[in-house]
Chains A and B, each alone.
Chain A
Amino acid sequence: MNQRLPNSFRTGPDERGHFGNFGGRFVAETLMPLILDLEKAYAAAKADPSFQAQMNGHLKDYVGRPSPLYFAERLTEHLGGAKIYLKREELNHTGSHKVNNVLGQIMVARRMGKKRIIAETGAGQHGVATATLCARFGLECVVYMGAVDVARQAPNVFRMEMLGAKVVPVQSGTRTLKDAMNEALRDWVTNVHNTFYCIGTVAGPHPYPMMVRDFQSVIGEETRKQMQEAEGRLPDSLVACIGGGSNAMGLFHPFLDDPSVEIFGVEAAGHGLTQLHAASIAGGRPGVLHGNRTYLLMDDDGQIQDAHSISAGLDYPGIGPEHSWLHETGRVTYLSATDDEALAAFMLLSRLEGIPPALESAHAIAKLTELAPKRPKDHLMVVNLSGRGDKDIPQITEILKGRKQ
């Protein structure tokens, strides 16, 4: 762990998919040839200017990019410190940042001639984005979703079905995101010949963490340009919530080599770090799951532990391997917010700005209330508003009703 600090934080991974000691390709032999194929297909796409041009066209006209960088005036006033900007990923078609990555992967799948797309989903946002693009491009779509999440994110389940996707409730294990990912991997091993696995975050075996990061980096690249236009300089700090870490990595990556930019990732602390939570950096240690080495919640026997978060999209016992590396190198600071803090932040942003955030994004907002007041008024802070809260309204209504009784 006393590795030398790299000259650049943006060159990883190496050819074997390692970010320092993290990442890699820990998959069954059946999948290995597929992963090597994907790596080749993605490298070819990346080098093909027509691929990028097509992507940009769809990002603009279908997704609705660029997403605005919005000065949150009342929130800034309320917190009385740093000047807060929201990167409005919740305004994308489908309501979250997930669509950026799905578009990229679906375009790669099309290049590879794959006709059947599978995905795992927690909050349902990645599932919805995948179902949407499969409808758009006429592809078969199967989404694995933990049975617990099917219950707490009902609006997204209806939406996926309406879009023509098949949603499979996963009953194994803890019946949340990690089990959905296990089940998607089982499907992939079974249907190797026609199926493309569209992973929803910067996790899984190489090349997924790199590929998903690349597709999400549009968030940070736009932010750079937009902040330049708005303030004539770089932001001073960035804040994003972390489930697997894709919205965070997308915002962070273009700024990793700008030492003046402070970077904060916010994990889900659930009921608190000494109780059930989903903060793998704060409460876990390095291990191997779902194709890569990274920080994971586990017991002393190496058995993966149940994560808990109020937000289905953060309810995962791991984190993308590049985040583990950014943590160990100290480039990014990882904080955590509890369920209650996220709920309070949900209400705060709804009331002050008229923007109900996704419960996932509310974790990032929650930490703002600690970070922003401590910083001067000319400090420019960008928060990634990764998704909108509509999907969470039934769940939050239930919780608030329960509290009144």
Chain B
Amino acid sequence: MTTRIDALFAELAKEGRSAFVTFLMAGDPDPATSLDILKALPKAGADIIEIGMPFTDPMADGPSIQAAGLRALKSGMTLRKTLEMVRGFREEDNTTPLVLMGYYNPIYIYGVDKFLADAKTAGVDGLIIVDLPPEEDDELCIPALKAGLNFIRLATPTTDDKRLPAVLANTSGFVYYVSITGITGAAAADSKVVGDAVARIKRHTKLPVCVGFGIRTPQAARAIAEKADGAVVGTALVDALRDSLDTQGQATAKTVAAVADVVASLAQGVRGAKQAAE
């Protein structure tokens, strides 16, 4: 099976550059603005789009993404509406890979089989579920693979060589390397250390390795893109979105452009990266 994610990485390999992966929360600050932002991302330079599924208790997220989730929930966002948003995006764009990222409980309550079917039809390509390690693969990972969705696993600095094969076993699409031990929005890792970690993971897999957590500037994005197949930015985008809101936390005329501008400058950073000799 070839997904939009596989196709993208094949294409980028030909171009000889790394992917720029964006993260924003579905429904932040409201469903309509969120869809407008989503539609603006590919033009601004996003290669892969991660869409956060809001959850009340995001245990691996820092204050910025927690607040984004709460803004989304307050505006009435639900998992059903997140899938609607994906359908809205797919009406105009049938190539940019979309990955849903979040926590398991809303999916479990939606119903795993129904969720996978609806996500696939809506045009979702992959899933990143923070609280489903390989030990719980029967829950969603195996069914997702059967349904034709990529299940993208997180590898972390605590995932040692002994554990990596288990983490990679049912992973597809790409591997998401969390460059620090910590929550989203924390300090960045040193790009040399990240380079070593990526090399270590690549000894165990042929899958592309994208790196995230702590990347905020075009320079940092560029440094990571020189070491990895993709650089993921979330908190910096969520912060730009937040800073564009009015005092009530509502979207303003500037909101979509504010996010698109930051995406564009980060994308330039990624595109400016020299490819590491493979």
Residues in chain A within 8 A of chain B (CB atoms)? 16, 24-34, 172-173, 178-179, 182, 185-186, 189-193, 287-291, 296, 298, 300-304
The reply to whether B59 and A190 contact each other, CB–CB distance below 8 Å, is no
B160 surroundings in chain A (CB, below 8 A):
33
Q: Counting chain A CB atoms within 10 Å of each CB, which of B131, B178, B182 scores highest?
A: B131
Taking the closest CB of chain A, its distance from the CB of B103, in whole angstroms, is 8
Q: How far is the CA of A303 from the CA of B102 in the complex (A)?
A: 12
Q: How far is the CA of A268 from the CA of B67 in the complex (A)?
A: 29
Interface hit among B32-40, B132-140, B246-254: B132-140
Among B59, B156, B157, point to the contact of A186 (Cβ < 8 A).
B59
The reply to whether A30 and B156 contact each other, CB–CB distance below 8 Å, is yes
B93-117 CB contacts (< 8 Å) to partner A: 103-110
Among A186, A288, A304, point to the contact of B183 (Cβ < 8 A).
A186
Among B62, B107, B181, point to the contact of A30 (Cβ < 8 A).
B181
Taking the closest CB of chain B, its distance from the CB of A176, in whole angstroms, is 12
Give the total number of A-B pairs whose CB atoms are below 8 A apart. 117
Taking the closest CB of chain A, its distance from the CB of B131, in whole angstroms, is 4
Q: How far is the CA of A325 from the CA of B73 in the complex (A)?
A: 31
The reply to whether B154 and A28 contact each other, CB–CB distance below 8 Å, is yes
Q: How far is the CA of A173 from the CA of B107 in the complex (A)?
A: 21
The reply to whether A190 and B186 contact each other, CB–CB distance below 8 Å, is yes
Q: How far is the CA of A235 from the CA of B207 in the complex (A)?
A: 61
The reply to whether A27 and B133 contact each other, CB–CB distance below 8 Å, is yes
Residues in chain B within 8 A of chain A (CB atoms)? 54-60, 62-63, 66, 70, 73, 78-80, 103-110, 130-133, 135-136, 153-160, 163, 167, 178, 181-183, 186
Taking the closest CB of chain A, its distance from the CB of B17, in whole angstroms, is 27
Nearest first, the 10 A-B pairs at minimum CB distance are: A302-B109, A302-B106, A190-B182, A30-B156, A301-B78, A32-B133, A302-B105, A26-B131, A304-B56, A185-B59
A288 surroundings in chain B (CB, below 8 A):
103-105, 108, 131
Q: Given contacts A29-B133, A33-B160, list 13 more A-B pairs with CB under 8 A.
A: A26-B132, A30-B156, A30-B178, A173-B56, A186-B62, A189-B181, A189-B182, A190-B183, A287-B105, A301-B110, A302-B107, A302-B108, A303-B106
Q: What residue of chain A has the Cβ atom nearest to residue B187's Cβ?
A: A190
B135 surroundings in chain A (CB, below 8 A):
16, 24-25, 32
Taking the closest CB of chain A, its distance from the CB of B138, in whole angstroms, is 10
A182 surroundings in chain B (CB, below 8 A):
57-59
Taking the closest CB of chain A, its distance from the CB of B185, in whole angstroms, is 10
Q: What residue of chain B has the Cβ atom nearest to residue A28's Cβ?
A: B60
B78 surroundings in chain A (CB, below 8 A):
301
Q: How far is the CA of A296 from the CA of B56 in the complex (A)?
A: 13
A34 surroundings in chain B (CB, below 8 A):
158
Among B59, B62, B79, point to the contact of A290 (Cβ < 8 A).
B59
Q: How far is the CA of A243 from the CA of B159 in the complex (A)?
A: 34
The reply to whether B183 and A301 contact each other, CB–CB distance below 8 Å, is no
A27 surroundings in chain B (CB, below 8 A):
131, 133
The reply to whether B63 and A172 contact each other, CB–CB distance below 8 Å, is yes
Among B110, B136, B155, point to the contact of A26 (Cβ < 8 A).
B136
The reply to whether B108 and A189 contact each other, CB–CB distance below 8 Å, is no
Taking the closest CB of chain A, its distance from the CB of B109, in whole angstroms, is 3
Taking the closest CB of chain A, its distance from the CB of B175, in whole angstroms, is 11
Could you show 18 A-B contacts with beta carbons less than 8 Å apart?
A24-B135, A25-B133, A26-B132, A28-B133, A28-B154, A29-B158, A29-B167, A30-B154, A32-B158, A182-B57, A186-B59, A193-B181, A288-B108, A289-B105, A291-B131, A301-B80, A302-B55, A302-B108
A179 surroundings in chain B (CB, below 8 A):
57
A178 surroundings in chain B (CB, below 8 A):
57
Taking the closest CB of chain B, its distance from the CB of A66, in whole angstroms, is 38
The reply to whether A192 and B158 contact each other, CB–CB distance below 8 Å, is yes
Q: How far is the CA of A33 from the CA of B73 in the complex (A)?
A: 32
The reply to whether A303 and B73 contact each other, CB–CB distance below 8 Å, is yes
Q: How far is the CA of A182 from the CA of B105 in the complex (A)?
A: 15
Q: How far is the CA of A383 from the CA of B106 in the complex (A)?
A: 37
Q: What residue of chain B has the Cβ atom nearest to residue A305's Cβ?
A: B56
Taking the closest CB of chain A, its distance from the CB of B182, in whole angstroms, is 4
A302 surroundings in chain B (CB, below 8 A):
55, 79, 105-110
Q: How far is the CA of A364 from the CA of B18 in the complex (A)?
A: 60
A291 surroundings in chain B (CB, below 8 A):
131
Q: What residue of chain A has the Cβ atom nearest to residue B160's Cβ?
A: A33
B163 surroundings in chain A (CB, below 8 A):
32-33
Among A33, A191, A290, point to the contact of B159 (Cβ < 8 A).
A33
Q: What residue of chain B has the Cβ atom nearest to residue A24's Cβ?
A: B136
Q: How far is the CA of A16 from the CA of B92 in the complex (A)?
A: 45
Q: How far is the CA of A330 from the CA of B133 in the complex (A)?
A: 31
Q: How far is the CA of A289 from the CA of B109 in the complex (A)?
A: 12
Q: What residue of chain A has the Cβ atom nearest to residue B176's Cβ?
A: A29
Q: How far is the CA of A302 from the CA of B110 in the complex (A)?
A: 8
Q: What residue of chain A has the Cβ atom nearest to residue B167's Cβ?
A: A29
Q: How far is the CA of A193 from the CA of B157 in the complex (A)?
A: 11
The reply to whether A172 and B131 contact each other, CB–CB distance below 8 Å, is no
The reply to whether A301 and B79 contact each other, CB–CB distance below 8 Å, is yes
Q: What residue of chain A has the Cβ atom nearest to residue B55's Cβ?
A: A303
Q: How far is the CA of A203 from the CA of B109 in the complex (A)?
A: 20
Q: How far is the CA of A287 from the CA of B139 in the complex (A)?
A: 12
Q: How far is the CA of A267 from the CA of B181 in the complex (A)?
A: 36
Taking the closest CB of chain A, its distance from the CB of B173, in whole angstroms, is 16
The reply to whether B59 and A173 contact each other, CB–CB distance below 8 Å, is no
Q: How far is the CA of A285 from the CA of B138 in the complex (A)?
A: 21
Taking the closest CB of chain B, its distance from the CB of A184, in whole angstroms, is 9
The reply to whether B136 and A25 contact each other, CB–CB distance below 8 Å, is yes
Given the interface pairs A25-B136, A178-B57, A290-B59, the reply to whether A298 lies near B105 with Cβ below 8 Å is yes
A31 surroundings in chain B (CB, below 8 A):
158
B60 surroundings in chain A (CB, below 8 A):
28, 30, 185-186, 189
Q: Counting chain B CB atoms within 10 Å of each CB, which of A31, A33, A172, A303 scores highest?
A: A303
Taking the closest CB of chain B, its distance from the CB of A264, in whole angstroms, is 29
